[in-house]
Amino acid sequence: MSGQSEHIVVIGAGAAGLMAARKLARAGRTVTILEARERCGGRILPLPASEFGYPADAGAEFVPGEAPVTRGLLREAGLSVQEIEGTQWSFDGTRLSREDRHDPDQAELHDVLGALQDDLTVADFLRRHFAGPDYDRLRHSIGRMVEGYDAADPERASTLALREEWMDGGRHTQARIVGGYGALIDFLAGECRGLGVTFRFGCAVSAIEETGGPLAVRCAGGDLHGCDRAVLTVPLPLLRDIALPESARAKAASAGDIGFGSVIKILLRFARPWWRERNEDLADMTFLLSDQSIPVWWTRHPDQHPVLTGWFGGPRTAELATLDRHGLIEAGLDSLGAIFGMSRDDIARDLVATAATNWLHDPFARGAYSWATPRTREAQAILACADGPVLFSGEALYRGASWARWRRRWRAGWRRRK
């Protein structure tokens, strides 16, 4: 290696892979990115502005709270954000109403959470501290919140990891990137190219082999890439499919202690904002929560684009696993019909463009994002330890306090709704 810069292969051209590649290239390494898809961005998936009227996001959409890394990057890229302000509504099966800020169980929940010393799963926490019929409502609402927003399984999810979010009360602001998350990916990819990073698309890595000296990274199509070190940024479920050298395999096994949840996201663009026209109180509606099969909806407010986005997360998305894109859109229209007391056909009449993604079915994501079990911090520390030629990175390894804040605001609303 003397005289030559270290060659590093980064696997995955999502946000984490691009950030790693940029940093390594800036530090003088020779960097190649191997990406299974034909595009950068991974779980950041822009939809055509020509269809939606703006660069809509089928994956990540919100910038959570302070999000120092993201906001720093946005400043570097000269991109701005639009903060989200407005009212949150709910549908209780009969009527639409503005969120009621009063929750009778909240003070007691906070007291018990505040006194908690040792971690336990959310389901165990509820069984231990909130058993009995008096707490039926609380247990139900927390179960739904953990599933719906964290996309997590209450039988495995960590109570301590969620405590901060629950006690936050939804005070943190949220924003959207003007130009969508795709603009950030374009910026990072451009930076990488400017630094001489090589991109190889359509390369699904199947194995990393130790050859006594350098590593050999094998792609499903048969390509072989030699390098000194490799950085794996693939989503957790994809790790299982990649054959790894012994030491890396042992580390990768700890990924089993990090949860990974699924999300269905639906975007419906209409010719006109019929919900605002029907009820002028909804003019500044942001989020709308319900118990329909696609339970959560949001508008583009304060933008005026007449687009409604539907959201369903967690283990119960399995109930809709057989639905294709068309079936998901139908489920979305049925849910909106029930919420607004309109026929499905009346709503569909104004449709201009649609998109629906069940992220579980995306072959290179197999879900949406990670969530914490009581053993996740330990697993993250093992995976993040840079002690061999194969390194691990990516969303599931992020240990900052705000790692799930983008979901807080809805969570607070969900909690109050029950």
The residue among 35 and 119 lying less far from ligand FAD, judged by its C-beta, is 35
Question: Which range binds ligand FAD by CB under 6 A, 93-101, 158-166, 201-209, 221-229?
Answer: 201-209
Between CA 217 and CA 225, with CA 223 as vertex, the angle to 5 degrees is 35
34 binds ligand FAD per the rule CB under 6 A: yes
Question: Which range binds ligand FAD by CB under 6 A, 13-21, 23-31, 139-147, 281-289?
Answer: 13-21
Question: Which range binds ligand FAD by CB under 6 A, 24-32, 60-68, 162-170, 323-331?
Answer: 60-68
The residue among 40 and 142 lying less far from ligand FAD, judged by its C-beta, is 40
SS3 sequence of the chain: CCCCCCEEEEECCCHHHHHHHHHHHHCCCEEEEEECCCCCCCCCCECCHHHHCCCCECCCCEEECCCHHHHHHHHHHCCCEEECCCEEEEECCCCEEECCCCCCCHHHHHHHHHHCCCCCEHHHHHHHHCCCHHHHHHHHHHHHHHHHHHCCCCCCCEHHHHHHHHHHCCCCCEEEECCCHHHHHHHHHHHHHHCCCEEEECCCEEEEEECCCCEEEEECCCCEEEECEEEECCCHHHHCCCECCHHHHHHHHHHHHEEEECEEEEEEEECCCHHHHHCHHHHHEEEEECCCCCCEEECCCCCCCCEEEEEEECHHHHHHCCCCHHHHHHHHHHHHHHHHCCCHHHHHCCEEEEEEEEHHHCCCCCCCEEEECCCHHHHHHHHHCCCCCEEECCHHHCCCCCCCHHHHHHHHHHHHHC
Shortest gap between Cβ of 34 and ligand FAD (angstroms)?
5
239 binds ligand FAD per the rule CB under 6 A: no
Among 177, 238, 248, 372, binds ligand FAD (CB under 6 A): 238
What is the spatial distance between Cα 205 and Cα 152, in angstroms, rounded to a whole number? 28
24 binds ligand FAD per the rule CB under 6 A: no
Decide: 366 and 235 in contact? Cβ < 8 Å.
Answer: yes
The residue among 142 and 355 lying less far from ligand FAD, judged by its C-beta, is 355
395 binds ligand FAD per the rule CB under 6 A: yes
Shortest gap between Cβ of 29 and ligand FAD (angstroms)?
19
Decide: 288 and 339 in contact? Cβ < 8 Å.
Answer: yes
380 binds ligand FAD per the rule CB under 6 A: no
20 binds ligand FAD per the rule CB under 6 A: no
Among 60, 109, 183, 329, binds ligand FAD (CB under 6 A): 60
What is the spatial distance between Cα 336 and Cα 324, in angstroms, rounded to a whole number? 18
The residue among 135 and 364 lying less far from ligand FAD, judged by its C-beta, is 364
390 binds ligand FAD per the rule CB under 6 A: no
Shortest gap between Cβ of 393 and ligand FAD (angstroms)?
7
Among 8, 15, 161, 412, binds ligand FAD (CB under 6 A): 15
Return the structure tokens found at 166.
Answer: 């629950």
179 binds ligand FAD per the rule CB under 6 A: no
The residue among 109 and 286 lying less far from ligand FAD, judged by its C-beta, is 286
Question: What would the x/- binding string for ligand FAD be over residues 332 to 371, using CB under 6 A?
Answer: ---------------------------x----xx--xx--
59 binds ligand FAD per the rule CB under 6 A: yes
233 binds ligand FAD per the rule CB under 6 A: yes
44 binds ligand FAD per the rule CB under 6 A: yes
Among 154, 180, 182, 235, binds ligand FAD (CB under 6 A): 235
Shortest gap between Cβ of 407 and ligand FAD (angstroms)?
8
How many residues form the binding site for ligand FAD (CB under 6 A)?
37
Other beta carbons less than 10 A from residue 246's beta carbon: 8
17 binds ligand FAD per the rule CB under 6 A: yes
Binding site for ligand FAD (CB under 6 A): 11-17, 34-37, 42-44, 59-62, 64, 203-205, 233-235, 238, 242, 263, 265, 359, 364-365, 368-369, 394-395, 406
